[in-house]
Amino acid sequence: MIIAFSAIILLTGVDQLIKYWAVESLKGTPSREFIKIGNLKILNLTYLENDGAVFGSFSGMRWILVGVTAALMIFCIYYMIKHRNNKFMVICLSLVVSGGLGNIIDRLFRGGLVVDYLDVQLFNFAIFNFADCCVVIGVILLLVYVLFFEKEHGEKVKKGSTDG
């Protein structure tokens, strides 16, 4: 668990450092090309302050977003501790908690605004940040685990307990 909480601190720190850089380097400037292959633009750096959640939903509802995020983070930490022997689950939940923490820090200390800067150019998509990436990757990995592997893990545990 020490490694998991260290990872949460590290990932949250990386998120906040990137956001600090974005505020200092991108705020007030036009969008910058970041990843491009030939003439194909893939990712730009575009500064945006977001007062809502995904795709601008719940815009202006700072305290509701803080409360919901805090509650989900507490649940994830509780679940991490309860299932600390399941390393994959701990990794997934560590990603979710670190992303939630990175965005809640913004909401609390940047006037309710979350700093976003990653702008996908391949298709029309929301501008997002490193913390959002942590949450999405953690949730996707968790869903894959629950949908495809948890049943197998549960059956192994049941077989192990009936054999002894």
Residue in 126, 98, 136 with CA at minimum distance from that of residue 4 = 98
119 tagged catalytic: no
Q: Which residues contact 140 (CB under 8 A, 6 or more apart)?
A: none
Q: Which two tokens stand for residue 109?
A: 């200390």
Domain of 60 in residue numbering reads as: 2-163
What pLDDT is stored for residue 164 in this prediction?
46
For the chain, give the percent of residues with pLDDT over 90. 76
Do residues 98 and 133 touch, judged by C-beta distance below 8 A? Answer: no
In this prediction, residues 1-27 reach a mean pLDDT of 96
Distance CA 13, CA 15 (A): 5
- Global pTM value: 0.86
Which position among 51, 116, 119, 163 bears the catalytic label? Answer: 116
What pLDDT is stored for residue 55 in this prediction?
66
Q: Which two tokens stand for residue 120?
A: 């996908």
How many domains are contained in the chain?
A: 1
116 tagged catalytic: yes
pLDDT in tens, 32-50: 999 999 999 999 999 999 9
Residue in 92, 131, 108, 138 with CA at minimum distance from that of residue 10 = 131
pLDDT in tens, 73-99: 999 999 999 999 999 999 999 999 999
How many other β-carbons are positioned within 10 Å of the β-carbon of residue 125? 11
Residue 50: exposed, middle, or buried by beta-carbon count in 10 A (0-12, 13-18, 19+)?
buried
Which position among 15, 106, 119, 132 bears the catalytic label? Answer: 132
Q: Please tell me what DSSP assigns to residue 157.
A: H
